[in-house]
């Protein structure tokens, strides 16, 4: 009756990052950190996990002398998010 929830997206911060990236073309690390309230270290670890899963793509560059990491959601990330939402509905919609 209940569908399995994707454990990678079931983390509050990773879910917030994916949700945020769905609403923009791309976002830089600082913007994501500000929007989620995450620490730089924690966000870096979670972005790495999402990147290794193929849910986000990361590109690193420089703005002047400052490093800049830009993130984009991938088609795999969009599909995983949609599956997660459908699975979550199995937990909340059957209640009558």
- Give the model's pLDDT for residue 96: 59
84, 43 contact by CB (below 8 A):
no
pTM: 0.89
For residue 80, give Cα distances in angstroms to 15, 50, 53, 56, 63: 11, 11, 10, 11, 32
Q: How far apart are CA 78 and CA 68, in angstroms?
A: 24
Task: State the DSSP code for 54.
Answer: T
pLDDT of residue 95: 59
For residue range 23-72, what is the model confidence (pLDDT) as tens digits?
999 999 999 999 999 999 999 999 999 999 999 999 999 988 888 999 99
User: For 65-93, what is each residue's pLDDT tens digit?
Assistant: 888 999 999 999 999 999 999 999 888 86
The answer to whether the beta carbons of residues 39 and 4 sit under 8 Å apart is no
- Assign 94 a pLDDT band (cuts: 50, 70, 90): low
Domain 12-88 sits in CATH 1.10.1740.10: no
- In this prediction, residue 42 carries a pLDDT of 97
pLDDT tier at 1 (50, 70, 90 boundaries)?
A: confident
């Amino acid at each position: 009756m209940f569908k399995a929830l994707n454990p990678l997206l079931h983390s509050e911060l990773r879910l917030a990052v994916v949700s945020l990236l769905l609403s923009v073309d791309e976002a830089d690390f600082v913007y994501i950190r500000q929007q989620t309230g995450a620490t730089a270290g924690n966000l870096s670890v979670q972005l790495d996990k999402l990147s290794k899963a193929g849910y986000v793509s990361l590109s690193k560059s420089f703005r002047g002398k400052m490093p800049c990491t830009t993130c984009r959601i991938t088609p795999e990330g969009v599909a995983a998010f949609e599956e997660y939402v459908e699975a979550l509905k199995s937990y909340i919609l059957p209640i009558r």
